[in-house]
Structure 1
Amino acid sequence: MNNNPLSRALFNDVMVPNYNPQPIIPVRGEGSRIWDQDGREYVDVTGGIAVNVLGHCHPALVDALKNQADNLWHLSNVFTNEPALKLARQLTEATFAERVFFCNSGGEANEAAFKLVRKYAFDHYGEHKNEIISFRQSFHGRTLFTVSVGGQPKYRQGFEPVPAGITHAEYNNLDSLKALISDNTCAVVLEPIQGEGGVIPADPEFLKGVRELCDQHNALLVFDEVQTGVGRTGHLFAYMDTPMVPDILTSAKALGGGFPIGAMLTTSKIADSLGIGTHGSTYGGNPLACAVAGAVLDQVNRPDVLEGVLRKRALFEEGLAQINARHHIFKEIRGKGLLIGAELVDAWHGKAGEFLAAARGEGVLVLVAGPDVLRMAPALNIPEDEIRQAMARLDAAIEKKLSE
């Protein structure tokens, strides 16, 4: 039994209560497995919420961090540094982008993107062109600006007044966007797969229509790829599997493989609106973070890894289908690649958290995406036998839950 004074109970005494962490405290991880304070082992298909793209303690990332730690930790933006330059070059060579801004999180990357779209519109069209359109059920971060662009009112409650000039259309409904967009719109912001909103992919025709509407109204298109980027869908970024290219892309989560880093990618023309002094980040482009992120891209942006994502998704789908054949618990399996959402049948709506707890009890860690959807976002290199083991443990958890 754990006698460590650093217990879950201590959290309630020393931490701000904005989180409600699970009762176990992981202390060690390797690949797609973690161990808690009592030495109990779990198969982890949460990936740190789509962050641990190569699992826990991947040797290449550990080596990159250790090697950089022996050389240079921090400089601030008074200087540039070699890991940041290398990472920016990797990103621009691999994507549509020509310029990169580094920060520390997805929220900061989106904050930078939303400031940039307004500044670009101001520079090129005037101060009237300042309206941002996002989509209901979207999630873009927790800063006051990003939570306002996000389409979930519960995250704004109690923090009003929020920034103005933001409206929300219905996702996958082009007519809804047409009713809102105008020549005063500076940008449309969307997730290619709504993650927190329930793991809902955008329809290809919808995306094509969004791009066309943006072009008609001289509005920029921002892709929030904080959750879908860096191999998650079987492509380096999800836009690469769509009929269009965004003007701005934001990335974080998997970009650092567990080390905090975010990035905003765009073209040189658009980037020019963030001239000297217009935006900044003390830790953005930190050498440690950039060295690790560079190693992540070296490992992930390879055909064998990206092609393996689709093969491993098929194993998850097979396992979930077998579970459903026995228990009739899932209404729909959604997502792309290794971003997987399993919506519960109507009778169990609102109770996804109960299945998460049951799964933990059987030694598999899963996520939720709202109250109705179980979500899985495992490491891209999770071994196939561990996928099968995770599904077997989830099956046992569901069977136990349904028998209560």
Structure 2
Amino acid sequence: MENQEDTVWADEELFPTYKRWDVTFAKAEDTTITDTNGKTYQDFMAGIGVVNLGHSHPYVVQAVEKQLHEGWHASNFFHYNQQQEAAHLLTSHSCGDLVFFANSGAEANEAAIKLARKHTGRKKIISFVQSFHGRTFGSMAATGQTAVQEGFGPMPEGFVRLPFNDVSELEKAIDEDTAAVLIEMVQGEGGVRPADQAFVTAVEEKVKKSGGLLVCDEIQTGIGRTGTLFAHEQYEIEPDIITSAKGLGNGFPVGAMIGKQFLKESFGPGSHGTTFGGNPLAMAAVKATLQTLFEEKWIKAAAAKGERFLNELDQELRSLPVVKDVRGMGMMAGVELTESSAPVIKELRDKGMLVIGAGPNVIRMLPPLTMKEETLLEGVQDIKEALSSIQS
């Protein structure tokens, strides 16, 4: 085959679905990304909350490489020991009992929506304004951002989106037709907005009293991101279904729906499926990622470093006139500005620090859990300098 390694490609043959930066990825290791010009960046976004163990983690790479030589795919007609082993790691460290493996967070949420409706025989799915659950039709209908839905025709019926952290509106909406309430503990794409404890407690109480299911979307907040394996643990609730992806395979595409034992008969043979979900390569990545998180105590480290990081952000930035709020949980932080965050994000990128937005005015940070504390604190100073420069 023709060697095209050194070819510089444009994007003329790709659908323009992404607003790409003027940066071309070359390689990545730990918390550093290098572009094709040799410039390095400290990655405070972790591939949008994905590489929680850092890029190219040696144990995860080794596990996937080993599986590459043993087989990539045989289909879900076969038993895979790797699926059972990965599922056991998830159920033994969560309140769930059963796992369905998919390829992405959107697919995990689709599975949760289908299971909730099938199990309850009800139609209504309640989610919240500014939430984000995916871009497939079901997950898009649940997403509380109209910009995501515009131009795609009518959304599937039965989806109701309520104000976040508003107990009174929740009480009005939950009824005998409610199949599930779908909630993020921290709205990531919606501005890094943590849920209030009283609100989450009310959600659990009222949906379960109605006979509906509680579904926690932990796509972005899970796998140690907030200082516990799943963020809902810090709210002392017990969801019926948990959805996971992003950090689950440390960059390998994989998603999972974790559910309670009583849901088993509602998802029997033929009720749902996926060709590639739970393939041996993905399971090798999941197993290695989870084992590393647990054995090397990265979740506990994330809680401690995250607290210091958030405190430093608050102390250094809150007094700046351009800063409206600083918020987050664990290694998930948002700085809300009084104006557009885009120029600041670009300035930081030019300086070699990668952060992303969450809506028009929020700087969002999702650094790898492995990032050194001194690097986190240096990042705070870089942000402070960038914010100070736009005020002068």
TM bin, normalised by shorter chain, reads: over 0.9
The match for 2:377 is: 388
Deviation at 1:326, TM superposition (A): 7.5
Q: How does 1:74-113 map to 2 (within 5 A)?
A: 74-113=73-112
Q: How does 1:268-287 map to 2 (within 5 A)?
A: 268-287=261-280
Deviation at 1:4, TM superposition (A): 5.5
Deviation at 1:89, TM superposition (A): 1.0
The match for 1:290 is: 283
Deviation at 1:143, TM superposition (A): 0.2
Q: How does 1:244-259 map to 2 (within 5 A)?
A: 244-259=237-252
Q: Distance in 2 between matches of 1:273 and 1:325?
A: 49
Deviates more, 1:246-255 or 1:150-159: 150-159
Q: Distance in 2 between matches of 1:257 and 1:73?
A: 18
Contact 2:91 2:97 in 1 (8 A): yes
Deviation at 1:146, TM superposition (A): 0.6
Q: How does 1:259-338 map to 2 (within 5 A)?
A: 259-302=252-295, 304-321=297-314, 323-324=316-317, 327-338=320-331
AA paired with 1:285? G
The match for 1:170 is: 163
Q: How does 1:97-176 map to 2 (within 5 A)?
A: 97-122=96-121, 129-176=122-169
Compared CA separation, residues 363 and 402, structure 1 to 2 (3 A):
farther
The match for 1:37 is: 36
Compared CA separation, residues 329 and 57, structure 1 to 2 (3 A):
same
Q: Distance in 1 between matches of 2:361 and 2:216?
A: 25
Q: Distance in 1 between matches of 2:156 and 2:257?
A: 21
Q: 2:8 aligns with which of 2, 6, 9?
A: 6
Partner SS state of residue 301, structure 1: helix
2:343 counterpart of 1:354? yes
Q: Distance in 1 between matches of 2:323 and 2:7?
A: 40
Contact 1:195 1:227 in 2 (8 A): yes
2:204 counterpart of 1:194? no
Compared CA separation, residues 326 and 92, structure 1 to 2 (3 A):
closer
Contact 1:236 1:301 in 2 (8 A): no
Q: How does 1:187-226 map to 2 (within 5 A)?
A: 187-226=180-219
Partner SS state of residue 14, structure 1: coil
Deviation at 1:211, TM superposition (A): 0.9
Partner SS state of residue 364, structure 2: strand
Q: Distance in 2 between matches of 1:236 and 1:330?
A: 30
Q: 2:353 aligns with which of 364, 369, 378?
A: 364
Deviation at 1:147, TM superposition (A): 0.4
Q: Distance in 2 between matches of 1:293 and 1:328?
A: 43
AA paired with 1:28? K
Contact 1:362 1:394 in 2 (8 A): no
**When the two structures are superposed, what TM-score results if normalisation uses the length of structure 2?**
0.95
Deviates more, 1:361-370 or 1:303-312: 303-312
Compared CA separation, residues 85 and 213, structure 1 to 2 (3 A):
same
Q: Distance in 2 between matches of 1:226 and 1:370?
A: 18
2:220 counterpart of 1:227? yes
Deviation at 1:323, TM superposition (A): 4.2
Deviation at 1:244, TM superposition (A): 1.1
Q: Distance in 2 between matches of 1:208 and 1:324?
A: 31
Q: Distance in 2 between matches of 1:184 and 1:326?
A: 47
2:39 counterpart of 1:50? no
Deviation at 1:264, TM superposition (A): 0.1
User: 1:150-189: CA deviations, max 9, x gaps?
Assistant: 1111111111211001111111111111111110111111
User: 1:292-319: CA deviations, max 9, x gaps?
Assistant: 1111111112573222112222342344
Deviation at 1:266, TM superposition (A): 0.3
The runs of at least 4 aligned residues of structure 1 exceeding 6 Å deviation read none
Gaps of 5+ in 2: none
- Give the CA RMSD over aligned residues: 1.6
Q: Distance in 1 between matches of 2:146 and 2:359?
A: 13
Partner SS state of residue 43, structure 1: strand
Partner SS state of residue 102, structure 1: strand
AA paired with 1:18? T
Deviates more, 1:239-248 or 1:219-228: 239-248
AA paired with 2:374? D
Q: Distance in 2 between matches of 1:211 and 1:16?
A: 41
Contact 2:110 2:139 in 1 (8 A): yes
The match for 1:63 is: 62
